[in-house]
Structure 1
Amino acid sequence: MRDIRRATRKHLSAEDRIRIVLEGLRREERIAALCRREGIADSPYYTWSKEFLEASKRRVAWDMARAATRPSLRLVSALNVPKHSTTDS
Protein backbone atom coordinates (compact mmCIF):
# COMPACT_ATOMS: atom_id res chain seq x y z
CA MET A 1 0.00 0.00 0.00
CA ARG A 2 2.80 2.46 0.84
CA ASP A 3 4.52 1.70 -2.47
CA ILE A 4 1.36 2.59 -4.36
CA ARG A 5 0.90 5.84 -2.44
CA ARG A 6 4.51 6.88 -2.94
CA ALA A 7 4.38 6.06 -6.63
CA THR A 8 1.40 8.37 -7.15
CA ARG A 9 2.87 11.38 -5.34
CA LYS A 10 4.27 14.05 -7.56
CA HIS A 11 7.27 15.98 -6.28
CA LEU A 12 7.72 19.34 -7.95
CA SER A 13 10.68 21.68 -7.77
CA ALA A 14 10.33 25.17 -6.31
CA GLU A 15 10.51 26.59 -9.83
CA ASP A 16 7.62 24.39 -10.97
CA ARG A 17 5.55 25.37 -7.95
CA ILE A 18 6.15 29.07 -8.63
CA ARG A 19 5.29 28.59 -12.31
CA ILE A 20 2.02 26.86 -11.41
CA VAL A 21 1.08 29.54 -8.86
CA LEU A 22 1.81 32.33 -11.34
CA GLU A 23 -0.30 30.59 -13.99
CA GLY A 24 -3.13 30.38 -11.46
CA LEU A 25 -2.80 34.07 -10.61
CA ARG A 26 -3.20 34.97 -14.29
CA ARG A 27 -6.70 33.41 -14.14
CA GLU A 28 -6.59 32.33 -17.77
CA GLU A 29 -8.11 29.00 -16.74
CA ARG A 30 -9.86 27.67 -13.68
CA ILE A 31 -7.68 26.47 -10.81
CA ALA A 32 -9.24 23.01 -10.95
CA ALA A 33 -8.36 22.70 -14.66
CA LEU A 34 -4.83 23.96 -14.03
CA CYS A 35 -4.32 21.43 -11.23
CA ARG A 36 -5.70 18.58 -13.37
CA ARG A 37 -3.37 19.54 -16.21
CA GLU A 38 -0.38 19.62 -13.82
CA GLY A 39 -1.42 16.37 -12.12
CA ILE A 40 -1.81 17.83 -8.63
CA ALA A 41 -4.69 18.22 -6.20
CA ASP A 42 -6.24 21.62 -5.53
CA SER A 43 -5.10 21.79 -1.90
CA PRO A 44 -1.33 21.89 -2.61
CA TYR A 45 -1.93 24.66 -5.15
CA TYR A 46 -3.75 26.80 -2.59
CA THR A 47 -1.06 26.10 0.03
CA TRP A 48 1.69 27.11 -2.42
CA SER A 49 -0.27 30.19 -3.46
CA LYS A 50 -0.67 31.31 0.15
CA GLU A 51 3.03 30.71 0.90
CA PHE A 52 4.04 32.57 -2.27
CA LEU A 53 1.93 35.62 -1.45
CA GLU A 54 3.10 35.70 2.18
CA ALA A 55 6.75 35.49 1.09
CA SER A 56 6.12 38.30 -1.39
CA LYS A 57 4.62 40.48 1.34
CA ARG A 58 7.60 39.84 3.63
CA ARG A 59 10.03 40.69 0.83
CA VAL A 60 8.25 43.95 -0.01
CA ALA A 61 8.18 44.94 3.67
CA TRP A 62 11.89 44.14 4.01
CA ASP A 63 12.73 46.15 0.87
CA MET A 64 10.71 49.11 2.14
CA ALA A 65 12.37 49.01 5.56
CA ARG A 66 15.79 48.77 3.97
CA ALA A 67 15.07 51.68 1.63
CA ALA A 68 13.78 53.76 4.54
CA THR A 69 16.93 53.23 6.62
CA ARG A 70 19.45 53.49 3.80
CA PRO A 71 19.54 57.33 3.52
CA SER A 72 20.08 57.74 7.26
CA LEU A 73 22.93 55.23 7.19
CA ARG A 74 24.56 57.13 4.36
CA LEU A 75 24.24 60.38 6.29
CA VAL A 76 25.83 58.86 9.41
CA SER A 77 28.74 57.44 7.44
CA ALA A 78 29.16 60.71 5.50
CA LEU A 79 29.39 62.69 8.72
CA ASN A 80 31.65 60.02 10.21
CA VAL A 81 29.71 60.17 13.45
CA PRO A 82 30.14 57.13 15.68
CA LYS A 83 26.90 55.42 16.59
CA HIS A 84 27.77 55.18 20.30
CA SER A 85 29.90 57.93 21.69
CA THR A 86 32.04 56.91 24.67
CA THR A 87 33.57 60.32 25.32
CA ASP A 88 32.00 62.81 27.65
CA SER A 89 32.42 66.43 26.60
Structure 2
Amino acid sequence: MKTRKKPTPETYIKEIRRKTRRIFTAEQKILIVMEALRAETSVAELCRKHSIQESTFYKWNKEFLEAGKKRLSGDVVREATSDEVSQVREENKKLKEMVADLVLRYDIVKKSLDMLD
Protein backbone atom coordinates (compact mmCIF):
# COMPACT_ATOMS: atom_id res chain seq x y z
CA MET A 1 0.00 0.00 0.00
CA LYS A 2 1.40 3.40 -1.01
CA THR A 3 1.35 6.26 1.39
CA ARG A 4 1.09 9.76 0.02
CA LYS A 5 3.89 12.11 0.87
CA LYS A 6 2.91 15.32 2.52
CA PRO A 7 3.84 18.17 0.18
CA THR A 8 6.64 20.44 1.26
CA PRO A 9 5.85 24.13 1.62
CA GLU A 10 7.87 24.85 -1.53
CA THR A 11 5.92 22.37 -3.67
CA TYR A 12 2.67 23.58 -2.15
CA ILE A 13 3.46 27.20 -3.10
CA LYS A 14 4.58 26.17 -6.61
CA GLU A 15 1.31 24.30 -7.11
CA ILE A 16 -0.73 27.32 -5.99
CA ARG A 17 1.22 29.60 -8.32
CA ARG A 18 0.74 27.17 -11.20
CA LYS A 19 -3.01 26.97 -10.64
CA THR A 20 -3.44 30.74 -10.24
CA ARG A 21 -1.29 31.76 -13.19
CA ARG A 22 -2.86 34.65 -15.04
CA ILE A 23 -3.93 34.05 -18.59
CA PHE A 24 -3.71 37.09 -20.84
CA THR A 25 -5.97 37.43 -23.84
CA ALA A 26 -4.54 38.40 -27.21
CA GLU A 27 -6.06 41.86 -26.80
CA GLN A 28 -4.37 42.34 -23.42
CA LYS A 29 -1.01 41.27 -24.85
CA ILE A 30 -1.40 43.68 -27.76
CA LEU A 31 -2.28 46.56 -25.43
CA ILE A 32 0.77 45.88 -23.27
CA VAL A 33 3.09 45.72 -26.30
CA MET A 34 1.54 48.88 -27.75
CA GLU A 35 2.02 50.63 -24.42
CA ALA A 36 5.72 49.75 -24.60
CA LEU A 37 5.97 50.99 -28.19
CA ARG A 38 4.74 54.41 -27.07
CA ALA A 39 7.90 54.51 -24.91
CA GLU A 40 6.27 56.47 -22.11
CA THR A 41 7.64 54.08 -19.48
CA SER A 42 10.52 51.63 -19.35
CA VAL A 43 9.99 47.95 -20.09
CA ALA A 44 10.92 47.07 -16.51
CA GLU A 45 8.34 49.50 -15.12
CA LEU A 46 5.71 48.25 -17.57
CA CYS A 47 6.36 44.64 -16.55
CA ARG A 48 6.06 45.51 -12.87
CA LYS A 49 2.81 47.37 -13.56
CA HIS A 50 1.27 44.32 -15.27
CA SER A 51 3.01 41.73 -13.05
CA ILE A 52 4.74 39.91 -15.89
CA GLN A 53 8.29 38.76 -16.46
CA GLU A 54 10.41 40.78 -18.86
CA SER A 55 11.11 37.60 -20.83
CA THR A 56 7.35 37.14 -21.27
CA PHE A 57 7.03 40.71 -22.51
CA TYR A 58 9.87 40.30 -25.00
CA LYS A 59 8.31 37.07 -26.28
CA TRP A 60 4.98 38.85 -26.85
CA ASN A 61 6.78 41.78 -28.47
CA LYS A 62 8.62 39.46 -30.88
CA GLU A 63 5.40 37.62 -31.79
CA PHE A 64 3.61 40.93 -32.34
CA LEU A 65 6.32 42.29 -34.62
CA GLU A 66 6.65 39.01 -36.54
CA ALA A 67 2.90 38.94 -37.17
CA GLY A 68 3.04 42.52 -38.45
CA LYS A 69 6.00 41.70 -40.67
CA LYS A 70 4.19 38.71 -42.18
CA ARG A 71 1.07 40.75 -42.80
CA LEU A 72 2.95 43.61 -44.46
CA SER A 73 4.89 41.21 -46.69
CA GLY A 74 1.62 39.99 -48.15
CA ASP A 75 1.12 36.86 -46.08
CA VAL A 76 -2.61 37.09 -45.48
CA VAL A 77 -3.05 33.49 -44.35
CA ARG A 78 -3.91 33.44 -40.68
CA GLU A 79 -4.34 30.68 -38.18
CA ALA A 80 -7.87 29.75 -37.23
CA THR A 81 -9.11 30.52 -33.75
CA SER A 82 -10.25 27.68 -31.52
CA ASP A 83 -13.88 28.82 -31.99
CA GLU A 84 -13.50 28.63 -35.75
CA VAL A 85 -11.92 25.18 -35.51
CA SER A 86 -14.73 23.89 -33.30
CA GLN A 87 -17.35 25.32 -35.69
CA VAL A 88 -15.70 23.62 -38.66
CA ARG A 89 -15.50 20.33 -36.74
CA GLU A 90 -19.18 20.56 -35.83
CA GLU A 91 -20.14 21.30 -39.43
CA ASN A 92 -17.95 18.40 -40.60
CA LYS A 93 -19.70 16.07 -38.15
CA LYS A 94 -23.14 17.15 -39.39
CA LEU A 95 -22.13 16.69 -43.02
CA LYS A 96 -20.78 13.19 -42.31
CA GLU A 97 -24.07 12.29 -40.63
CA MET A 98 -26.00 13.59 -43.64
CA VAL A 99 -23.85 11.54 -46.03
CA ALA A 100 -24.32 8.42 -43.88
CA ASP A 101 -28.10 8.99 -43.87
CA LEU A 102 -28.17 9.45 -47.65
CA VAL A 103 -26.13 6.29 -48.20
CA LEU A 104 -28.56 4.31 -46.04
CA ARG A 105 -31.56 5.73 -47.91
CA TYR A 106 -29.88 4.92 -51.23
CA ASP A 107 -29.28 1.32 -50.14
CA ILE A 108 -32.92 0.98 -49.04
CA VAL A 109 -34.25 2.36 -52.32
CA LYS A 110 -31.86 0.21 -54.33
CA LYS A 111 -32.90 -2.95 -52.47
CA SER A 112 -36.60 -2.15 -52.88
CA LEU A 113 -36.11 -1.62 -56.62
CA ASP A 114 -34.17 -4.91 -56.89
CA MET A 115 -37.08 -6.70 -55.20
CA LEU A 116 -39.49 -5.32 -57.82
CA ASP A 117 -37.46 -6.77 -60.67
Pairwise same-fold verdict (TM > 0.5):
yes
Structure 1 regions of 5+ residues with no counterpart? Answer: 64-89
Amino acid at match of 2:26: A
**Alignment match, 1:75:** none
1:36-47 matches, cutoff 5 A: 36-47=48-59
Amino acid at match of 2:25: S
1:61 aligns with 2:67: no
Structure 2 regions of 5+ residues with no counterpart? Answer: 1-10, 76-117
Q: How many residues are matched?
A: 63
CA distance in 1, matches of 2:64, 2:26: 11
TM-score for the superposition, normalised by structure 1? 0.65
**Alignment match, 1:50:** 62
CA distance in 2, matches of 1:9, 1:37: 16
Displacement of 1:8 in angstroms is: 4.8
Amino acid at match of 1:55: A
CA distance in 2, matches of 1:7, 1:27: 33
CA distance in 2, matches of 1:51, 1:18: 10
Q: Work out which of the residue numbers 5, 27, 46 in structure 2 matches 1:15.
A: 27
CA distance in 2, matches of 1:46, 1:28: 17
Amino acid at match of 2:27: E
1:26 aligns with 2:38: yes
1:35 aligns with 2:57: no
Matched residues, percent identical? 49
| Rg comparison, structure with higher value | 2
TM-score for the superposition, normalised by structure 2? 0.50
CA distance in 1, matches of 2:19, 2:38: 31
- 4+ residue runs of structure 1 moved beyond 4 angstroms? none
